[in-house]
Structures are given as structure tokens and as C-alpha cells.
Amino acid sequence: MSAFSRGCLLRNQNAFTPRTIHLFFPSKSSKTPRNFSISPFLNAAKKIRPPQTIKKAVLNTKPSLGPTKSIPKATPAISSYQSYATTLAQKLHPTLLYTAPSHTFFMMASYTGASFCFIYAGVFFWTNAVAANEDLAGWVIPALGGVSFLMAGFGTYLVLGPARLIKTIAAVPKHSQALSTVVAKSAAPELQVEVELRKMFPLPFFPARKLYVKPEDIILPEQLAPPPPRVLTATELRAMQIEEDAERQRLLEYEQTHIMSKPFRQMGRGFFNMFKAIGRTWHREGFMRIEVKGAKYKLDVMGGWALDGGKALDRLCRVKGGL
């Protein structure tokens, strides 16, 4: 009995060792069990060299006479930054920055109004100045001649309306196709801006005039995309985008469901654009006068398309307010 009781006690004692208690009844105070790779009983004994031997080994080592590898230094964050012009210059194709809207009605209104003014001035001057009656007073003929010259001045103003109109603006890499790959890697990429003008007279055999200038040669009187009065949050921007998409979808559904009245709507838009173009021929509304290499040109900001809402041109060109 005594042997049996001692055996039971030993078995119970082995069954509730700290490792067995940790496995079945984990507690915060118990230590993490060791695995086989970190057990001190299964690891081989490591030879620890005395400190004197280590010092001798360090002193006996001779410096190598071979070429040493230079350790690359950490480049600052500014060196990895590239300007917007450099990014566009590294591309292999031109980047369109601006496209003007159609100026058909504007040019028709300008030339029609100018023709009327010139014809009226010529007929009026011949009738009232050259072939005038002899019974008229002396001051009447010079006054009527002045009216003729005034009408001719109005015609000149109208006929010069389509002059120096910008059609497209594009960023063209200067050495993207001319140079080879080796030269392009060694030399810094350059960027030039292509400014294509609209033809004043639609002659078929004469190409449009193009100007190739540097980005800093273009001076804007003000920013094309002025900063908003306040910073919008992500929620507000998302709500605005949802509202614009809903409005666009509503207009598309209206066009698809009202097919019979579509020709009348198009005629109404055509007449509206025509009368608007007639007004623009006189007061030049919506045209921004920009400077390209010292000369003045007209940029239509009431329509058309601009990259990133005009911010691309603001970043490339100089703004007169920021000089």
C-alpha cells in the first residue's frame, strides 16, 4: 500500500507540473514554454573566445589594398523631387494643355459686321462727300466724311476680332525624338510649349501659324484656375461629384426621352450662340490677353478644355500677379 500510494502521489505530482498546468490552465503569471530550438539542453555548447584573443585577431588583421566600395549616401528628399515641366519633358509624346472652343459664329459675326461697316462707309462717303450737292453748308461735308471714317474704324475693329486667336497649347518634349537614348539620358530633358494660332481667314492651302517658346516666355495676367475661397473637405467634394453626376444623368435621360423636340432645342442653342457671338465681337467678353514672347494673343476662357482645369498652365507659365 505504501508503495502504491507513493506511486500515485508521484504520478499526480508529475501530472501537475508547471508546464502541464500552463497548457491546460494558462495564466498571466506562467512563463511561455520553451520550444526545442531554444532549449538549453538540446543546443550545442558555444565556444566563447576570451577577450584577449579577440583583440589580437583585430590587431593582426591588415588593411586590404584593393579598391574599396563607396557607401552610397542617403539622398535628400529634395533631389527626388521633379518639377512639373521636367515631368512633361520626360514624356515621349506631346501633352495637350488647352483646346479652344469653336469660333465659327464669332468669325462669321465679325466678318459680316465688318463688311456692313465698310460698305456703309464707302457708300455714305461717296453720296454725301464726293457727289454732294452744292447747296450744302461748308461744315456738312467734313462732318459726313467723319461719319464715314468712323464707320470704317468700326469695320476695322470687327475684322481684327479673329486675329491672334489661340487654338491649342501643347507641351512638346524638345529632344524626345531627335536624340538617341544615350544622349537623352546624359542630357537634361528640355520642354517647349507649342502655341497654335487659329487662321484669321479660312484659306485651305495655308497652314496655321505655330509658335515654339519656353514655358517661362508665356505670361498670364492672372491665374486660369484661381484658388477656392475655402478648402473643401472630402465629404463636400464627394457630394459635389455625386450632384454633378446626377445632373448629367438627368439631362441625358431628358434628351433620350424627348426625341421629337430635339431639333427645336438644337435650333434654339444655335440662335443663342449666334447672338452671343455677335455680342462678343463688340465687347470681347471671355478673352484673356496673354503675352507670348513679348506679343499679345487672345485666349478664350469661356469655353474649350484645359488640362486639370487650367492648373497645368498656371504651373508652367508665369503669372503676372506672382512676379
Domain assignment of residue 272, yes or no? yes
Q: CA-to-CA distance for 258 and 272, rounded, in angstroms?
A: 20
Domain count across the chain: 2
- The C-alpha cell at 267 is 435650333
Which pLDDT score is estimated for 280? 92
Which pLDDT score is estimated for 187? 54
Same domain, 226 and 316: yes
Which pLDDT score is estimated for 175? 62
Same domain, 32 and 92: no
Which pLDDT score is estimated for 76? 42
Residue ranges of the chain with pLDDT lower than 50? Answer: 1-45, 53-81, 177-186
Domain assignment of residue 98, yes or no? yes
The enclosing H or E element of 167 equals strand 166-173
The phi, psi pair for 145, rounded to 5°, reads: -65, -35
Same domain, 19 and 97: no
Return the ∠ at Cα 272 (arms to 269 and 273), rounded to 5°: 85
At 196 the three-state DSSP class reads strand
Domain assignment of residue 201, yes or no? yes
Same domain, 32 and 171: no
Domain assignment of residue 236, yes or no? yes
Say how many C-beta atoms besides its own lie within 10 A of residue 191's C-beta. 23
Domain assignment of residue 62, yes or no? no
Return the ∠ at Cα 303 (arms to 298 and 304), rounded to 5°: 85
Domain assignment of residue 318, yes or no? yes
CA 49 to each of CA 54, 60, 61: distance values in angstroms, whole numbers, following the listed order: 7, 16, 17
* Per-residue b or e along 29-38, where b marks 16 or more CB atoms closer than 10 Å to that residue's CB: eeeeeeeeee
Which pLDDT score is estimated for 167? 94
Q: CA-to-CA distance for 82 and 30, rounded, in angstroms?
A: 57
Provide the residue range defining the domain that includes 15: 1-37
User: Is the four-CA dihedral 176, 177, 181, 186 of positive or negative sign?
Assistant: negative
Q: CA-to-CA distance for 267 and 275, rounded, in angstroms?
A: 12
Q: CA-to-CA distance for 121 and 135, rounded, in angstroms?
A: 22
The answer to whether 161 touches 110, Cβ cutoff 8 Å, is: yes
Same domain, 170 and 268: yes
- The C-alpha cell at 256 is 433620350
Q: CA-to-CA distance for 113 and 272, rounded, in angstroms?
A: 18
Which pLDDT score is estimated for 28? 44
Which pLDDT score is estimated for 252? 93
Same domain, 237 and 181: yes
Same domain, 241 and 175: yes
